[in-house]
Amino acid sequence: MRTADAILTADLHLRDTTPRCRTDDYFHAQELKLKYIETLSVQLDCPIIVAGDFLHTPRVSPFLEGWLIKNLRLSRWHTITGQHDLINHSLKQYEHSSLHVLEQAGLNVYKNEVEGNIYGGAIFCELNIIAIHTMVYLNKPIHESVGGTSASNLLYEMDADTAKLLLTGDNHQTFTYERDGRIVLNPGSMMRMTADQLHHKPCIFVWHKDERVLKQHYLPINEGCINREHFGKQEQRDHRIDAFLNRLNTNYEIGLSFEKNIEKYFSKNKTRKPVQETVWEAVRHGN
């Protein structure tokens, strides 16, 4: 098999817990995809670049840390930071994160100061790639509350001489956008973690920089393992949480982080413990 310059992916969200929508052995499904990617990396003799959210939470279990150190050739993997990788979405406590542990074991981690809604980035000059972790969409935002920027605007904002390929993470949908010989690639999530991803086809892309060619490889999946029974209940739950969080708008102070605003609200308003737990869960596992 011919060599390539890089394997490109994003939003691995590695974890040892099972999403509510999955009915299979989720950890094993995750393992199969990781081994597929790594085996292809060896065959093509190229690095693997991840556009952020390598892990699902900033601190994962010692079991998962150990499993990744034992079973992955971490030196082949290169990742930028995503908000799920960072405690409080900040680099201030990076050394207390699991990503830092993996970095000490050989994972290549690229850390830039978190700025606005960009949680990490890196320029791979030799590969003609810029990788950033921020919400980018193809035609319209995935939700009015999420925001972000379009792929066309991103190309306009980025220096055309710096890189011909912009690799983005955060949006779990897969898309490519090309204009004037430049490409925006959003690989999408490696795993199907929510019921609305029933038709998502996890994939990776192989980059040949000289030809400026991307080749898509679909990852192995388990058919029929997505349970949608709770989907309607989840939507109702999301509406309730949205309504609750909207009430925070009249009780926040400029300069406080989102998490601090929630803490302040709870300290001043009597709120049932199950509701508080639901809100914190949404914050931990949201965008």
Same domain flag for 127 and 240: no
How many residues does this entry show for the chain?
Answer: 287
pLDDT of residue 256: 53
Same domain, 127 and 61: yes
Secondary structure (3-state) at 261 = helix
Given this model, what pLDDT does residue 283 score?
67
Same domain, 208 and 235: no
Write down the pLDDT at residue 253.
Answer: 47
Q: Are residues 275 and 139 in the same domain?
A: no
For the chain, 287 residues long, the average pLDDT of each consecutive 10-residue run is 89 96 95 97 97 97 98 97 94 96 98 82 93 93 82 87 91 95 96 92 96 94 83 61 62 56 76 76 60
Same domain, 12 and 100: yes
Q: Which residues contact 191 (CB under 8 A, 6 or more apart)?
A: 12, 13, 19, 26, 29, 30, 33, 202
Residue 142 and residue 108 share a domain: yes
pTM as predicted: 0.80
Q: CA torsion angle for 75, 80, 83, 88 (degrees, to 10)?
A: 80
Strand partners, 164: none
Q: Which ranges in 59-214 belong to alpha helices (H)?
A: 62-71, 98-104, 151-157
Examine the domain organization and report whether 132 and 156 are in the same domain: yes
The residue range of the domain holding 68 is: 6-218
pLDDT of residue 240: 64
**Which of 218, 243, 267 is the C-terminal boundary of a domain?**
218
What is the predicted pLDDT for the residue at 250?
52
Same domain, 97 and 238: no
The closest of 46, 122, 48 to 80, measured between CA atoms, is 122
Which of 218, 244, 272 is the endpoint of a domain? 218
Q: For residue 1, is it within any domain?
A: no
Task: Read off the CATH number of the domain in which 59 is found.
Answer: 3.60.21.10
Specify whether 242 is located in the same domain as 154. Answer: no
Q: What is the pLDDT of residue 284?
A: 65
